């Protein structure tokens, strides 16, 4: 059984990491406007692998590598929260032009 404090740290980290990844994904989306599909594919694969390894590395130090389904759900919750925020911001920017 994982102590409650360790679970709370894991949940908070998962939410903030989801927000960070959503932010980085939006930035990388703008950087990937290259005409060569091979470069786009390579950059996307490297980005996803790096993000995945960093997530598991930090979880290894927080809760000894236990990955529960609720951690992934909170990760996606953080990602969706920032995605919705950016979606509304970009919509407002496009309307102003």
Residue 59 in contact with residue 13, Cβ under 8 Å?
yes
Give the pLDDT mean for 30-34.
68
Domain extents for the chain? 7-92
Q: Which residue has the tokens 């692998």?
A: 49
Sign for the CA dihedral angle at 56, 62, 68, 74 comes to negative
Give the pLDDT mean for 29-58.
80
Q: Which residue has the higher pLDDT, 1 or 78?
A: 78
Q: How far apart (Å, rounded) are the C-alpha atoms in residues 52 and 56? A: 6
Give the pLDDT mean for 39-51.
83
Cβ contacts of 57 within 8 Å, gap of 6 or more: none
pLDDT averaged over every residue in the chain? 81
């Amino acid at each position: 059984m994982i102590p409650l404090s360790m679970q709370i740290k894991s949940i908070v980290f998962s939410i903030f990491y989801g927000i960070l990844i959503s932010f980085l994904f939006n930035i990388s989306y703008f950087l990937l406007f290259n005409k060569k599909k091979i470069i786009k594919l390579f950059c996307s694969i490297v980005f996803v692998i790096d993000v995945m390894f960093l997530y598991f590395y930090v979880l290894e130090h927080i809760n000894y590598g236990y990955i529960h389904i609720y951690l992934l759900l909170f990760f996606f919750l953080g990602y969706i929260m920032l995605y919705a925020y950016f979606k509304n911001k970009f919509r407002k920017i496009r309307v102003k032009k």
